[in-house]
Structure 1
């Protein structure tokens, strides 16, 4: 089981931001199909016998280094969309593995240094009445997506909701090494969401050729405003984050 609140403190963040206007769309997949897309140091985490892949578009707001207040004018705010799955390290610690990351702010491509699979593109997030729309297309290649959801009433997260949405570290791989990036933020405030439109080629571009095992599960969140991303560290003899 994973924790709904952050599992560790990030006392010395490398980056601070808000993650807002976020939608989570998840599909169950055969575990072996997803395992083929992650490095050998990681095992796909399963819930009720399935691996889960999430499409998570959002707005990354007020991106800044530590010590800079969120109220400072001119801080970068831009759209990002992640395609992710859920994994465990051989030491048992759970986390995220990104199959792809679409971003509308080219400076984020610096994170490729630790293997984060950023792809620059044209992304848009907009609200029309009670509908929230997301779209994006890569500058290189033809991967794209379009998603329209209608947020519903706030919910109390179920065990599955917590398992899908609350993860507190991300793994990447670069230069023959596995890296870990810890994250801390307040628990996600969640609502149900109805999917009106869902068109995407990101899963195929990531190498996931099999059909999902079921219909997508969707949630919406207004977001979290106090995100603290810790420095990424190589997992040479196991992954160790900053102490609590």
Structure 2
């Protein structure tokens, strides 16, 4: 199922994305990380990727945030009409055999219907109604897919800034995402500044995204981080990096 990494992943980006396909900011982001047995996650990840573990445990993370100033690289963020919208990812941690680590998305909820076009490169986008709001020190994330299910409501109160330990960096810092398309594994690189992390207290956590993805109840209560976000995200062009051998896969 994949062993623990020999050392912590890099806190800053592992590569430069010199010719980005897209620029954006990922703001007001909360990370909710649940531990699972590796075999419980393995069935949700295609052959051709190894489920990564930390201290013998696989992790799945719910990450709601604000996707800000999404634009092609030639358009400045200050141009009127550049979209900002809520997005929520459900993701796990993987590695290509003998290759580099990254993320596998179990689902991506998005409030911008135009982003559903990213399904063309295999990203599992689902349009829905999503919101991010603040009241005092509390931040609330609410969302549901069109049709009403699955859904989530998360409310957190960010704490003091933290100096990330190895596990904190391992859970939050990944520099590529994998998708599948046309029977192949695709890799999308990403570059941004290090996450400024704080701890966070959960006031409300009610969600059905994990069960909709096929996950059982987790092994323990979640680890939670909050970040004001990163403003200089550069997403590279997806590229095929190898075939997939998932039985019955027709994508």
Of 8, 11, 15, the match for 1:4: 11
Query: How do residues 12-23 of structure 1 correspond to structure 2 at under 5 angstroms?
Result: 12-23=19-30
Q: 1:74 offset after TM fit, Å? A: 1.7
SS, match of residue 171 in structure 2: helix
* RMSD (CA atoms): 1.1
Q: Do the aligned partners of 2:27 and 2:231 also contact (CA within 8 Å) in 1?
A: yes
Give the Cα–Cα distance (whole angstroms) in 2 for the partners of residues 105 and 230 of structure 1: 20
Of 169, 175, 192, the match for 2:182: 175
1:223 aligns with 2:232: no
Give the Cα–Cα distance (whole angstroms) in 2 for the partners of residues 190 and 38 of structure 1: 28
Q: Which runs of 5+ in 1 are unaligned?
A: 239-244
SS, match of residue 23 in structure 1: strand
Query: How do residues 1-244 of structure 1 correspond to structure 2 at under 5 angstroms?
Result: 1-140=8-147, 142-208=149-215, 210-236=216-242
SS, match of residue 109 in structure 1: helix
TM-score normalised over the length of structure 1 = 0.95
Q: Do the aligned partners of 2:185 and 2:243 also contact (CA within 8 Å) in 1?
A: no
Q: 1:142 offset after TM fit, Å? A: 1.3
Q: 1:92 offset after TM fit, Å? A: 2.6
Q: 1:60 offset after TM fit, Å? A: 0.3
Q: Do the aligned partners of 2:183 and 2:243 also contact (CA within 8 Å) in 1?
A: no
Give the Cα–Cα distance (whole angstroms) in 2 for the partners of residues 119 and 141 of structure 1: 12
TM-score normalised over the length of structure 2 = 0.93
Give the Cα–Cα distance (whole angstroms) in 2 for the partners of residues 147 and 97 of structure 1: 22
Give the Cα–Cα distance (whole angstroms) in 1 for the partners of residues 164 and 182 of structure 2: 38
Give the Cα–Cα distance (whole angstroms) in 1 for the partners of residues 192 and 233 of structure 2: 5
Give the Cα–Cα distance (whole angstroms) in 1 for the partners of residues 204 and 191 of structure 2: 32
Q: Which runs of 5+ in 2 are unaligned?
A: 1-7, 245-251
Give the Cα–Cα distance (whole angstroms) in 2 for the partners of residues 30 and 64 of structure 1: 39
